[in-house]
Amino acid sequence: MSWFKRTSAGIKTQRGQQNDVPEGQWVKCQGCSETITRRELERQLLVCPRCQYHFKMSPTGYFNLLFDGDYEVFDDNIISADPLQFTDQKPYKDRLEATRKKTGLQDAAKAAVGLVGGYPISVSAMDFTFIGGSMGSVVGEIVARSIKRAYENKIPALVITQSGGARMMEGALSLMQMAKTSAHLTRLSEAGLPFFVLLTNPTTGGVTASFAMLGDIHLAEPGALIGFAGPRVIRETMGQDLPDGFQTSEFLLQKGYIDRIVDRRNLKDELAHLLALLLSK
Amino acid sequence: MSQNIKLNLLEFEKPLYELEQKLEEMRALSHEDTGSDLSKTLQALEERVDELRESIYKNLTRWQRVQIARHPDRPYTLDHIDALTEGFVELHGDRLFGEDPAIVGGFGTFKGSRYGGKDQTVLILGHQKGRDTKTRKFRRFGMPNPEGYRKALRLMKMAARFDIPVITLLDTTGAFPGLEAEERGQAEAIARNLFEMARLPVPIVVVIIGEGASGGALGIGVGDRILMLENAWYSVISPESCSSILWRSWDYKEEAARALKLTAPDLIPFGIVDQIIAEPIGGAHRDPETTFEAVGRAIVENLTPLLSVPTQELLDNRLAKFDAMGTFSEV
Ligand SMILES: [Zn+2]
């Protein structure tokens, strides 16, 4: 594996910040309102030990959790060019700059290659803290390249989704990222390389309606919101309240769109096991 | 008829309509009185009508185009199919759950010979809106359920098996945001189409004929050539929804339309649209026959060369086309 040689050349990513957890020594769980120490929460991979609530995890958090050791990060130099010169209440350009400064991220996705249970895999992961994890040209390009990288290196791919959908501020270009990423998946599929999706909270809109629903195997974290249209829009369309648990991971499992719901604390083992089953024939 | 036109008049067309009315009155008068003064006035008025028409329709704002794209008299998918094909046979159902009238499709003979090409069996399908209260409801306002996308996919796969090219017509404000649609996998249905259309081994020509909003439009919109009527719009979201999310109010639809750059001329430089199909002045509904003629010619022009491209090359080009979509900087 050519990429792996490059990895051993010593690119080691530091433990990144794990988002969604407020600052401070004590953290109040959004699921059960209990108070947990930050150290305990981090030891539990940001899963509440009492109610299993899954706090959002950053791409770097997932990379550190999943990969056996070192991994190589790709395409962290791509930034939005504001192609439409979009302005709503404030210019998109300013919004991007402020978000970059605040989060230390370039955009809403990261990609890496490393080993999971000894199997090389090309992973891309989305980050809700960057404009709601929305997919514009940059996210589309990072995910597409990550899939292409899997195809070219003949290794499986995984996308970890966490997104409100396509990014409005890049208009039709955002929409086309759905087609672009899906088109790249056809080659992976025809090459007989497995494509995994891990759906996390939330995954909606154009991300769900493209690569998030095109996996060979769909894993989802418990209690994640997963859907196409947002609950508010559906409520308005139907003129009625939505049933409890509508558009959750558990709902999608029951409707047949998710293979397995996986507690994050078992994620690495489960993925490694699946890789072994599918690849060591 | 004239009353009907008045009922469906768009706000920005009203001054033109009033002037046209005045001209008609003058003409009636001139039949009674053949004095030369009147004919001079008449000529001046005619010129003013022409000028006003030019100035309105040659400088349409993006929001005005959105309104033309939604005009209740605009030709819909079945009108195009009726004009462009002979012996069209509509096929129904997704073989999984049901039939969705918000997407129609079937086989027919595309009358290419009328438009400078050859006649050709095609699969032609598209979003279908209704024209009155009853049919609008029946067609779910052209907003498909998962069954619509799955029916489209079933037909496209059949077309591929019989080596028949595909023409898709886009005209929707989005996939239906309903409870059952979610339960039956709206997202999966759209995603599956994006995937399968990317590798469908026959030529696909896509024409955006009216509204093209979000994944609901793209769900039948992946192809080798993307054509767009001059006053159609295509974007990730409707101006109204964009306004409600980014401005937290429904009142900024005009600003949103401007910001989204959703017209055909906007999309050409990004490679999202390959060709603009000119509409008659005032919009497709003012002269549907001329519109169909232009669409027919554009399909011939774009489909003919695709028919002789070897399959693998066709698919490689299709992937490359969508792979190139996106604008970003590398720092
Ligand atoms: Zn808890």
Q: How many domains does chain B have?
A: 2
Predicted confidence at residue A22, as pLDDT, reads: 72
For tokens 């496209």, the residue is B156
Q: Which residues of B137-159 are buried (b: 16+ CB within 10 A; e: fewer)?
A: eebbebbbbbbbbbbbbbbbeeb
Continuous segment of H or E residues that includes residue B149: helix B146-161
User: Is B1 domain-assigned?
Assistant: no
Q: Name chain B contacts of A140, Cβ cutoff 8 Å.
A: 326
Instruction: Return mean pLDDT, chain B.
Output: 95
* A180 vs B177, B183, B326: nearest CB: B326
From CA A118, how far away is CA A275, in angstroms rounded?
Answer: 9
Q: Is B131 in the same domain as B269?
A: yes
Residues counted in chain B: 331
A80 contacts A140 by C-beta, under 8 angstroms: no
Residues of chain A with pLDDT under 70: 1-20, 281
Nearest CA in chain B to A175: B236
**Which architecture does CATH list for A2-9+56-279?**
Alpha-Beta Complex (3.90)
The alpha carbon of residue B244 is apart from the nearest alpha carbon of chain A, in Å, by 11
Please state, in angstroms and as integers, the Cα–Cα distance from residue A224 to each residue in A10, A73, A162, following that order: 36, 26, 9
Tell me the CA–centroid distance for residue B93 and ligand 1, in Å.
46
Q: Is B79 in the same domain as B203?
A: yes
B21-62 pLDDT tens trace:
999 988 888 777 666 677 888 889 999 999 999 999 999 999
3-state secondary structure of B234: strand
3-state secondary structure of B124: strand
Number of Cα atoms under 13 Å in the Cβ half of residue B34 = 0
Q: State pTM to two decimals.
A: 0.94
Predicted confidence at residue B30, as pLDDT, reads: 78
A191-204 pLDDT tens trace:
999 999 999 999 99
Residue ranges of A 255-274 with Cβ closer than 8 A to chain B: 255-257
Which residues contact residue A107 at a Cβ distance below 8 angstroms, ignoring those fewer than 6 apart? A78, A79, A80, A130, A136, A138, A139, A142
A31 contacts A40 by C-beta, under 8 angstroms: no
From CA A172, how far away is CA A260, in angstroms rounded?
Answer: 33
Chain centroid offset of residue B211 CA: 6
Contact at CB, A208 and B191, closer than 8 angstroms:
yes
Structural tokens at position B26: 């003058």
User: Is B191 domain-assigned?
Assistant: yes
Mean pLDDT of B304-312: 98
User: Is B54 domain-assigned?
Assistant: yes
Predicted confidence at residue A24, as pLDDT, reads: 78
Report ipTM for this prediction.
Answer: 0.95
Q: Does A161 touch chain B (CB under 8 A)?
A: no
Predicted confidence at residue B34, as pLDDT, reads: 63
Predicted confidence at residue B297, as pLDDT, reads: 98
B86-125 pLDDT tens trace:
999 999 999 999 999 999 999 999 999 999 999 999 999 9
User: Is B4 domain-assigned?
Assistant: no
Q: Under the phi-then-psi rule, with left for phi > 0, alpha for psi from -120 to 50, and beta for the rest, what region is A215?
A: beta
pLDDT beyond 90 at B160:
yes
- For chain A, what are the domain ranges? 2-9+56-279, 21-55
Q: Does A160 touch chain B (CB under 8 A)?
A: no
User: Is B328 domain-assigned?
Assistant: no
Q: Is B80 in the same domain as B204?
A: yes
Residue span of the structural domain in which B33 resides? 11-59
From CA A31, how far away is CA A201, in angstroms rounded?
Answer: 13
Predicted confidence at residue B243, as pLDDT, reads: 96
Q: Is B120 in the same domain as B262?
A: yes
Q: Is B26 in the same domain as B168?
A: no
Predicted confidence at residue B307, as pLDDT, reads: 98
For chain B, what percent of residues have pLDDT higher than 70?
A: 97
Dihedral sign (CA B61, B301, B291, B123): negative
Q: Is B266 in the same domain as B129?
A: yes
Q: Is B44 in the same domain as B80?
A: no
